[in-house]
């Protein structure tokens, strides 16, 4: 499904004309009142841009001749957080912990099993399919692999301009001009529009992916490991570009990564995820200065430190990551936690909070008292 949908803006709005959907409606309206376009409910400016409440995504596992559901993969289980306008919210964790599934479910590219997603205070899960399409123009995604995410048979101009064209927002010279502006916005020459993806390096391809995501002028972008396939020297350039775009365009990001150094560099707040659940959320400086959850400590001690003179205390995790098909009871981390207690095996850990608002530090762990249940 394409994320790129129309948005009547300035010059683009003027491009709408004969032969498009709206003019067909005008002809029909001679006998009937014009159909009402399904508009999303009015945004609430006081609300966070994005709010997840107890989001769940379980994938069915089917087996047998009749493909009956025999089990569920709990990819995302009761995940809650907010993202404010102009904020970069980092999401970190080991491979398979559910990061991508959070991003895809949040955008309703896949339907949640339970929980709620609010976009500007509006219950996104209650939107009709048409309202989702309308709202999703403000929510885009940048993918991990800059090689497979661009169609090798399309020119760069066709890739970036596809949504604008398909939805009748620009065509002909106006489309070319718009694509050129987008290419220059991400640091590439406007003349590249006639070239093909194989002519570009990984970093340039990721810039093209970013230009495509910007075409409809979104407010929010899910960046799913956008630099993990790139050389370290190129990573910094792409991260700086994302920061510049955020400053200039007022964007918010959900920034997914398994690399703590990258998240420390770009994020304002960070959530640490393990086996489908959040285990710790804090402002980035607070998390790196004062990590509390044993899993966060283990991730940090496994993280390469750029300065070799810095001595770090290492926490080495033992055991494999359990399967999300059958996560451990109590605290899902208890099978690997160096500080596990008896009650960790049976009782889910409480949520313990300190600080307030975006300065809040949340940790789900029995080491930190009874806390408050959500």
Ligand X SMILES: Nc1ncnc2c1ncn2[C@@H]1O[C@H](COP(=O)(O)OP(=O)(O)OP(=O)(O)O)[C@@H](O)[C@H]1O
258 contributes a contact to ligand X by CB under 6 A: yes
Interaction partner, residue 108 (Mg ion, ligand X, ligand SF4, none; CB < 5-8 Å by kind): none
The window from 88-96, 179-187, 212-220, 236-244 that contacts ligand X (CB under 6 A) reads 88-96
101 contributes a contact to ligand X by CB under 6 A: yes
Site string for ligand X, 115-154 (x = CB under 6 A): ----------------------------------------
59 contributes a contact to ligand X by CB under 6 A: yes
The residue among 100 and 120 lying less far from Mg ion, judged by its C-beta, is 100
To the nearest whole angstrom, how small is the minimum distance from the Cβ of residue 333 to ligand SF4?
A: 4
To the nearest whole angstrom, how small is the minimum distance from the Cβ of residue 256 to Mg ion?
A: 6
To the nearest whole angstrom, how small is the minimum distance from the Cβ of residue 111 to ligand X?
A: 12
3-state secondary structure the chain: CCCCCCCCCHHHHHHCCCCCHHHHHHHHCCCCCCCCCCCCCCCCCCCCCEEEEEEEEEEEEEECCCCEEEEEEEEEEEEEEEECCCCEEEEECCCCCCHHHHHHHHCCCCCCCEEEEEECCEEHHHCCHHHHHHHHCCEEEECCCCCCCCCCCCCHHHHHHHHHHHCCCCCHHHHHHHHHHHHHHCCCCHHHHHCCHHHCCHHHHHHHHHHHHHCCCCCEEEEECCCCCCCHHHHHHHHHHHHHHHHHHCCEEEEEECCHHHHHHHCCEEEEEECCEEEEEEEHHHHHHCCCCHHHHHHHHHCCCCCCCCCCCCCCCCCCCCCCCCCCCCCCCCCCCCCCCHHHHCCCCCEEEECCHHHCEEEECHHHCCCECC
311 contributes a contact to ligand X by CB under 6 A: no
Interaction partner, residue 365 (ligand X, Mg ion, ligand SF4, none; CB < 5-8 Å by kind): ligand SF4
299 contributes a contact to ligand SF4 by CB under 6 A: no
To the nearest whole angstrom, how small is the minimum distance from the Cβ of residue 98 to ligand X?
A: 4
79 contributes a contact to ligand X by CB under 6 A: no
339 contributes a contact to ligand SF4 by CB under 6 A: yes
Site string for ligand SF4, 278-297 (x = CB under 6 A): ---------------xx---
Residues that bind ligand X (CB under 6 A): 59, 73, 75, 93, 95-101, 258, 324
């Amino acid at each position: 499904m394409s994320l790129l949908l129309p948005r009547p803006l300035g010059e683009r709005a003027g491009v709408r004309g004969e032969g498009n959907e709206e003019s067909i409606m005008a002809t029909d309206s001679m006998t009937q009142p014009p159909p009402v376009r399904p508009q999303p409910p009015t945004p609430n400016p006081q609300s966070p841009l994005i709010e997840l409440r107890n989001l769940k995504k379980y994938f069915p596992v089917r087996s047998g001749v009749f493909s009956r559901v025999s089990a569920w993969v709990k990819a995302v289980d009761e995940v809650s957080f907010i993202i404010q306008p102009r904020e970069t919210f980092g999401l970190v964790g080991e491979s398979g912990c559910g990061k991508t599934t959070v991003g895809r479910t949040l955008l309703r590219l896949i339907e949640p099993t339970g929980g709620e997603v609010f976009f500007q205070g509006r219950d996104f899960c209650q939107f009709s399919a048409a309202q989702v399409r309308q709202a999703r123009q403000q929510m885009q995604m940048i993918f991990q692999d800059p090689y497979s995410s661009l169609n090798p048979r399309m020119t760069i101009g066709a890739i970036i301009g596809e949504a604008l064209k398909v939805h009748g927002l620009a065509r002909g010279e106006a489309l070319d001009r718009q694509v050129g502006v987008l290419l220059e916005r991400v640091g590439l020459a406007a003349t590249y529009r006639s070239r093909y993806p194989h002519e570009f390096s990984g970093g340039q391809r990721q810039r093209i992916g970013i230009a495509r995501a910007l075409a409809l002028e979104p407010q929010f972008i899910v960046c799913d490991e956008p630099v993990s396939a790139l050389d370290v020297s190129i990573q910094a350039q792409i991260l700086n570009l994302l920061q510049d775009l955020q400053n200039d365009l007022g964007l918010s990001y959900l920034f997914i990564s398994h690399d703590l150094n990258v998240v420390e560099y770009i994020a304002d707040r960070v959530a640490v995820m393990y086996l489908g659940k959040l285990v710790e959320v804090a402002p980035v400086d607070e998390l790196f200065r004062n990590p509390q959850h044993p899993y966060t400590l283990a991730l940090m001690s496994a993280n390469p430190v750029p300065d070799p003179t810095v001595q770090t205390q290492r926490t080495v995790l033992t055991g494999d990551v359990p399967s999300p098909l059958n996560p451990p009871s109590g605290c899902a981390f208890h099978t690997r936690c160096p500080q596990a207690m008896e009650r960790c095996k049976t009782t889910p850990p409480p949520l313990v909070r300190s600080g307030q608002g975006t300065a809040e530090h949340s940790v789900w762990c029995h080491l930190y008292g009874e806390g408050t249940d959500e």
